[in-house]
Amino acid sequence: MGDQSRMTLFLIPLRWCRGVLLAALLLATPAWSADILLTAVQDSAGVQAFTQALAQQRPEDQITFTPLKDLPAPSRLPASTRLILLDLPGLDWRLQDAQGPPTLVLRISRLQARQRLGDTHPAKISLLWSDPPLERQLHLIASILPQAHRIGVLYGADSEFLLRELMQFAKPMGLEIVPQRWNNTNDSRALQTLFKNSDVLLGLDDPKLYNPKTAKNLLLSSYAQQLPLVGPNAGFVRAGSLASTYSDQPDWLAVLDRLLDHAPANWPHTLYPEHFKVVGNPQVARSLGIEQVDEAAVAARLAEGEKRP
């Protein structure tokens, strides 16, 4: 009986120690964590800064960056990995293998996706669009240029597929889309024709039409005709267009943070960033006799409008 009592006394502290150890392990280990792998062709300072910012935002996850050249085939990565591609070569690599892990493709334009995927959409790949949403850009025009109703749109072979969607968004807003194909960017006649029939020009994110070589002709023609150009992106606003919506690094980090909180099975096939900002060019506004864009106020109005059903 004495031996049994001593054994019982021995087991009590042993069980207590095990309980304390288990509790310590539970406190030290996040209730849920993920292995998140970022990759790109170049390991640049910008890429490292983005990776570090994501790691600081999600300290419970294991977040690493590996250059694309150092990765195996996608199917050889652990199925539990959550893969984030930061450039187009990464997408080309990922598309070679249908058995790869769940993948988020960051900052890819609608045109770039169509050139690589056509109308198909591979399983386990989510595309996060870089170009401003067309509907958001139309609401931007309605907010800063309420008198403009005829929206001129230059398009090419690559961007023609966006016109139907653009017209669908414009119709309930009481706006008219005036499309003009621009096959030869060295010929300004298409521009002149469009300017005569438009109140404002909305730029599509088509790099064959909007690039450093065409910028001078586009912007000088816009000034000459006193016709504002909205978009196609924040970079073009700095070059001389009137305004655009855009999403910056904090906005993208917010998108990733929300998505990574969910199981990959619940990730959308495609997504525009919910968070965004507005950028305007005060000098352009003055030269066109237009009121300067209040960037914060306009962005707030647009965001509020998108929250309403």
Tell me whether the omega of the peptide bond preceding residue 232 falls within 30 degrees of 0, making it cis. yes
The pLDDT of 151-180, averaged and rounded, is 97
Report CA 132 to chain centroid distance, whole Å: 8
The pLDDT of 131-152, averaged and rounded, is 97
The pLDDT of 123-144, averaged and rounded, is 96
Q: What is the residue-wise DSSP string for 12-44? A: HHHHHHHHHHHHHHHHHS-SS--EEEEE-S---
Position 17 scores a pLDDT of 43
User: What digits encode the pLDDT tens for the residues 184-219?
Assistant: 999 989 999 999 999 999 999 999 999 999 999 999
Res 5 pLDDT > 50: no
pLDDT band at residue 22 under the 50/70/90 scheme: very low
Q: How many CA atoms lie within 13 A of 217 on its CB side?
A: 15
The pLDDT of 254-269, averaged and rounded, is 95
Lowest mean pLDDT among 3-12, 75-84, 245-254, 266-275: 3-12
pLDDT band at residue 19 under the 50/70/90 scheme: very low
Position 6 scores a pLDDT of 46
Position 32 scores a pLDDT of 52
User: What digits encode the pLDDT tens for the residues 64-107?
Assistant: 999 999 999 999 999 999 999 999 999 999 999 888 999 999 98
Q: In a 3-state reduction of DSSP, which class is residue 92?
A: helix
Res 10 pLDDT > 50: no
d(CA 170, CA 193): 21
Res 309 pLDDT > 80: no
CB neighbour list of residue 274: distance below 8 Å, 6 or more residues apart: 254, 255, 306
pTM of structure: 0.87
Mean of pLDDT over the chain: 89
215-218 long-range Cβ contacts below 8 angstroms, 24+ apart: 215/239, 215/240, 217/185, 217/188, 217/191, 218/191
